[in-house]
Amino acid sequence: MQVAAQAFPRSVWPRVVGIALAIYVVYACAQMDISWERVETGFENASRFFGRLFPPNFHRWELLLKGLGESLQIAVLASTLGIVMALPLGLLGARNLMPAWASWPARAVVVARSLHPVIVAILFVKAVGFGALAGILALTVASIGFIGKLFTEAIEEISLKQVEAVRATGAPFFSVLAYGVLPQVFSRFIGFATYQLDSNLRNSTMVGIVGAGGIGGTLFAAFQRFDYDFVCAILIAIISLIMLGELFATAVRRIFIGGATLADLFRRERATRRDRLVEDD
């Protein structure tokens, strides 16, 4: 009688690693002065803080809209510059299309993603001063690193049969890219671009805390003044902006990938509302 092989072979090493991890967690908590008393104190402080957040104060809506508009401009400009600059880097970094002398330097540039946008923003604030320019440059660098890596990986995963077929016709290099590479990666490129715009919308609120423009500076100033009801209004506005950005990204993906038109988008929205009304009845 043949015994079925075990899906997960027994080994002592997972238990050893689990015990070592548990010991290290206890040790790290002791070293960082983490205790249940501090957690209880944190819950009490948090309850008082959240009590002071409500109701939100929208009286300074002009200042709020100005910060949101600046954050939106930073995100759009940084995304556009980052994506445009990441496209050639992503192509140069693809080892299935480019020689090693071109791919390795491009991959070295893409390593810029290893730095957090806030750290890069601090460096640009020191270089160009406070304001939106530092935020745009910081998020552009972050976009180049992240999108460049995704573009490179997408190109390296394509089927070379289509590329070789185009090359066999004697087409030049740019025609090979247009007819052999781009059709295979276009939908993924659109997804990457919309995701990066959504990410930069969120990051544009963070870089403002260190003086790189946007609503983050307004949020930090409100915290400094203990103006917590205005802080709540800012947080609600930021969440609303991110939600609108997500809806925009979904619409762009449906248009470029799904082949939908603007009329299709509005028809779907009306159909969704009609279905909701029927369910309520």
pTM: 0.75
Question: Which domains does the chain possess?
Answer: 61-258 (1.10.3720.10)
Compute the mean pLDDT over every residue in the chain, rounded to the nearest whole number. Answer: 80
pLDDT at residue 1, as a whole number: 46
**Whether pLDDT at 12 is above 50:** yes
| pLDDT bucket at 23, cuts 50 / 70 / 90 | very high
Q: Say whether pLDDT at 244 is over 70.
A: yes
Please check the confidence at residue 272 and state whether its pLDDT lies above 60: no
pLDDT digit string (tens) for 56-93? 888 888 888 888 888 889 888 998 998 888 888 888 88
For residue 2, the model assigns a pLDDT of 52
Higher local confidence (pLDDT), 211 or 75: 75
Calculate what percentage of the chain has a pLDDT beyond 90: 2
What secondary structure, in 3-state letters, does the chain show?
A: CCCCCCCCCCCCHHHHHHHHHHHHHHHHHHHCCCCHHHHHHHHHHHHHHHHHHCCCCCCCHHHHHHHHHHHHHHHHHHHHHHHHHHHHHHHHCCCCCCCHHHHHHHHHHHHHHHCCHHHHHHHHHHHHCCCHHHHHHHHHHHHHHHHHHHHHHHHHCCCHHHHHHHHHCCCCHHHHHHHHHHHHHHHHHHHHHHHHHHHHHHHHHHHHHHCCCCHHHHHHHHHHCCCHHHHHHHHHHHHHHHHHHHHHHHHHHHHHCCCCCHHHHHHHHHHHHHHHHHHHC
Q: Indicate whether 274 pLDDT > 70.
A: no
pLDDT, one tens digit per residue, over 102-158 is: 778 777 776 666 778 888 888 888 888 888 888 889 888 888 888 888 888 888 888
